Amino acid sequence: AADVTRALEEEAAKGLDFILHFGDLSYARGRGYIWDQFMSQMSTVAQQVPYMVGVGNHEYDHVSGGEKDPSGAPENGFHPDWGNYGDDGGGECGVPTSHRYVSPDNGNGVFWYSFDYGL
């Protein structure tokens, strides 16, 4: 994550309007201290430009624990037949991501939202 942070800091210094980071955020896989380290590293970037995120497989995938899933997906969460879902998220079910980030209120938190830019 340190290399990603350095690259984002360099790009932000060039005058980015915002950063969209969808999925594969911290690779914490259920370990809170890794989330804390990631958030600390990303704070330098987020202080320079708006930093928006969305869940990916490493934040969401789970094979059990669907009752904790904050997405509101029925039964054991969003698992379409065409997906190759496993336990990439270490059972996080999107919970740490949804508690650490604020998203526009026109969608479903970090699971989906929209905003207009440049109109």
Residue 20: CB atoms within 10 A of its CB come to: 11
54 - beta bridge partners?
22
Q: Is 49 left (phi over 0), alpha (psi -120 to 50) or beta?
A: beta
Note the pTM of the prediction, 2 decimals. Answer: 0.81
CA-wise closest residue to 90 among 65, 72, 107: 65
Structural element, H or E, at residue 95: helix 95-100
The reported pLDDT for the residue numbered 39 is 92
Query: 60-113: per-residue pLDDT in tens?
Result: 877 777 778 888 887 777 777 777 767 777 778 888 999 999 999 999 999 999
Structural element, H or E, at residue 53: strand 51-54
